[in-house]
Amino acid sequence: MESFEYTAHTSRVIFGAGSLGRLPDEVARLGATRVLLLGRRAPDLGPLSVARFDGVAMHTPVEVTERALELLRASGADCLVSVGGGSATGLGKALAARTGLPQIAVPTTYAGSEMTPVVGETAGGGKATRRDPALVPRTVIYDVELTLGLPVPLSVTSGLNAMAHAVEALYSPQANPAIDSFALDALARLARALPALVDRPDDADARSDALVGAWLASICLGAVEMGLHHKLCHVLGGSFGLPHSETHAVVLPHVMAYNAPAVPAVMRRIAGALGVTDAPAGLVDLAARLGAPMSLASLGLRDSDLATAAELVTAKPYPNPRPVDDVLVVLQSAFSGEHPVSGGAPGIGAAFSSGGAPDIGWLTDEVVASFAGASSERLRDLLGDLVRRLHGFVADNDLTEDEWKTAIDFLTRTGEMCSPTRQEFVLLSDTLGVSSAVDLLTNSRSPATTPSAVLGPFYVEGPPAVPPGTDLAVDLPGVPLRADVRIVDLDGNPVPDAVVDVWQSNQDGFYDVQLPDLEGPVLRARFSSDADGRVWFRSILPSEYPIPDDGPVGEMLRATGRHPYRAPHLHFMINAPGFRRLITQLFVAGGRYLDSDAVFGVKDELIVEFPAAPDGTRTVEFTFRIAPLEVGRA
């Protein structure tokens, strides 16, 4: 049973392209009238801006803060606005700590300090950390346009710095489900965004993804205590003057390799988010691909500094999943830029060794590299990601030959069972939730539209076109049903001439393609909406039914203790010129298996009342809202 504590630090967050334009309103919302700007960029605040300090420095030196404080007092400012990376935000926090003034942070990198109650200040050759909820900026404005000009090298190291916040949050003593979710999402976003913005620095979508990832990672940084990685970077930056984000980029995979034997489950989750088989090795490979610095030596650290750094890192206790008694070997590995892997890294001996299965990363890399000549970049990326995840599954579970042969046999029998009237692979996709996942990603980006649902394995192209009011059941037994639906656009205007395909099972749970004795299509038809967007027809009330379970998919369900039943529903496919196609289902309210549908297809918005008329006929009325082609995923 889980137990945890979670403290959230409240900031108002404004995210989006052009959101910097809302800065004057945010100043006014805080009741301020005199702004001190901190940073090298100076947004136009008109008369609100009374002074600007552009002497921001890394690691927030106390002497720099004192100079800024003099300007603050002389200007009579009542609000701080920091524009820039972590150094600008850090200076704002240091001033807020001394004056109590409200701060608005406008990050232009992926550093993450803006969402935390922490500031690190350097003085006398050391760096001290202060933590106080009052240090959290009142408002944070994330304007993607401000990051479009961020140099690629700084984008890369800043993004890897953000990844460090997410990684250490996952094995922090304060880790909890909310932080875990934020951290894994941040890692996945940054892992896909950073390569894209290296190739296309002005890619606004990639920049947006990276900025969201950095925001999520910074929430993690502010909510939990950090471990060995952040301690190392504080010492290397504060005592040896190493650049902040570059140091994070170099050190992180080596600390991960050191901690991996103590938190193998966390490392598997990180590897999954990164799409690699081994988390530390995968991260260092990503850093190399991005052109990040690979060693502390390249940042200016001297070999003679390592022992001193190790002593400073171990001087005070702090949380870490593995005792920090071998810090020197971590520093030596990071100093030379060796290639670490979980549980072992070349050149640092038994301190990292945990034995176990051999590393297959080299094989994964060879296979991924073989796709370099793919006909499209999208195909190359999809196959590469698939191979990395498959190899990761094989490695993480130490898969045996017998287990893999069983899987191959299962897939072979699944394919052999497919026919024009039986799509076992579609059924497998449905029962594993893949069909619903793809459906959500593809069709659920416009909340104003009717939710979509899976197509299912029993749709048949070209159903018979019939006039309004047709009885789809003909003479089949069942509870009579009258369906009256409308097709409208997002503004509620009727959509005439929409092509509406309808299909369903009989009262025993079979579709016509499963009943060879039936002549012609039954319980399926194609309608055209009238001038009012209306379609109506007669049929029978759908009932719950089992999906075909006499094949490999049925074996899988039985082996895992799952039932094969689907909740009762009607299928609809709606096509109209100029609109996105909608595939969906209407589920009978009160029907069985609504909470355990075998293909995970039920959505609350699609559960509809089917009330009874005085003559016993059940009725259903529903309005489908469809989106124009330009709405949703391209």
What confidence tens digit (pLDDT) does each residue in 83-108 have? 999 899 999 999 999 999 999 999 99
Q: What is the identity of the amino acid at 313? A: V
Say which residues have a Cβ less than 8 Å from residue 284's Cβ, sequence separation at least 6: 253, 294, 339, 340
Q: Which two tokens stand for residue 301?
A: 């650290």
Q: Are residues 468 and 599 in the same domain?
A: yes
Q: What is the identity of the amino acid at 372? A: A
Assigned domain for 403 exists: no
Q: Are residues 203 and 303 in the same domain?
A: yes
Specify the range with the lowest mean pLDDT, choosing from 175-184, 460-469, 514-523, 565-574: 514-523
Q: Are residues 112 and 171 in the same domain?
A: no
Q: Are residues 445 and 498 in the same domain?
A: yes
Q: pLDDT band for position 448 (50/70/90)? A: confident
Question: How many alpha carbons fall within 13 Å on the CB side of residue 299?
Answer: 27
Distance of CA 583 to CAs 15, 454, 462, 568, 630, Å?
32, 7, 15, 16, 17
Q: pLDDT band for position 631 (50/70/90)? A: low
pLDDT in tens, 576-600: 999 999 999 999 999 999 999 999 9
Assigned domain for 415 exists: no
Distance of CA 383 to CAs 260, 369, 379, Å?
28, 10, 6
Q: Are residues 441 and 346 in the same domain?
A: no
Q: What is the identity of the amino acid at 119? A: V
CATH number, domain of 174, equals: 1.20.1090.10
Count of domains forming the chain: 4
Contact call for residues 229 and 168 (beta carbons, < 8 A)? yes
Alpha carbons 132 and 94: distance in angstroms, whole number: 11
The residue among 232, 228, 256, 253 whose CA lies nearest residue 244 is: 232
Contact call for residues 589 and 610 (beta carbons, < 8 A)? yes
pLDDT at res. 397: 79
Q: Are residues 460 and 473 in the same domain?
A: yes
Q: Are residues 277 and 231 in the same domain?
A: yes
pLDDT at res. 454: 87
Assigned domain for 156 exists: yes
Torsions phi, psi for 17 (to 5 deg): -65, 130
Tell me which of 131, 147, 163 is where a domain ends. Answer: 147
Tell me which of 121, 147, 173 is where a domain ends. Answer: 147
Assigned domain for 543 exists: yes
Contact call for residues 274 and 187 (beta carbons, < 8 A)? yes
Say which residues have a Cβ less than 8 Å from residue 29's Cβ, sequence separation at least 6: 139
Q: Are residues 125 and 16 in the same domain?
A: yes
Alpha carbons 271 and 284: distance in angstroms, whole number: 12
Contact call for residues 102 and 59 (beta carbons, < 8 A)? no
Q: pLDDT band for position 327 (50/70/90)? A: very high
Assigned domain for 423 exists: no
Alpha carbons 351 and 320: distance in angstroms, whole number: 16
Q: Are residues 341 and 446 in the same domain?
A: no
The number of helices, as runs of H, and strands, as runs of E, in the chain is 18, 18
pLDDT at 73 over 90: yes
Q: Are residues 142 and 62 in the same domain?
A: yes
pLDDT at res. 124: 80
Q: Which structural domain, as residue segments, surrounds residue 295?
A: 152-356
pLDDT in tens, 184-211: 999 999 999 999 999 999 999 999 999 9
pLDDT at res. 133: 87
Instruction: Tell me the range of 65-79, 382-396, 453-467, 506-520 where mean pLDDT is highest.
Output: 65-79
Instruction: Tell me the range of 65-74, 219-228, 412-421, 432-441 where mean pLDDT is highest.
Output: 65-74
Identify the bridge partners of residue 153 per DSSP, sorted by sequence position: none
The residue among 542, 543, 545, 541 whose CA lies nearest residue 612 is: 541
Assigned domain for 552 exists: yes
Torsion of CA 314, 315, 320, 326, to 10 degrees: 10
pLDDT in tens, 244-269: 999 999 999 999 999 999 999 899 99
Read off the pTM.
0.59
Q: How many CB atoms lie within 10 A of CB 142?
A: 23
Alpha carbons 563 and 548: distance in angstroms, whole number: 11
Assigned domain for 404 exists: no
Q: Are residues 186 and 332 in the same domain?
A: yes
Specify the range with the lowest mean pLDDT, choosing from 320-329, 538-547, 625-634: 625-634
What's the rounded mean pLDDT across residues 397-403? 88
Assigned domain for 476 exists: yes
Identify the bridge partners of residue 575 per DSSP, sorted by sequence position: 499
Alpha carbons 250 and 292: distance in angstroms, whole number: 8
Contact call for residues 492 and 533 (beta carbons, < 8 A)? no
CATH number, domain of 82, equals: 3.40.50.1970
Q: Are residues 218 and 301 in the same domain?
A: yes
Alpha carbons 72 and 462: distance in angstroms, whole number: 74
pLDDT at 8 over 90: no
pLDDT in tens, 307-325: 999 999 998 888 999 999 8
Tell me which of 147, 179, 206 is where a domain ends. Answer: 147
The overall average pLDDT reported for the chain is 90
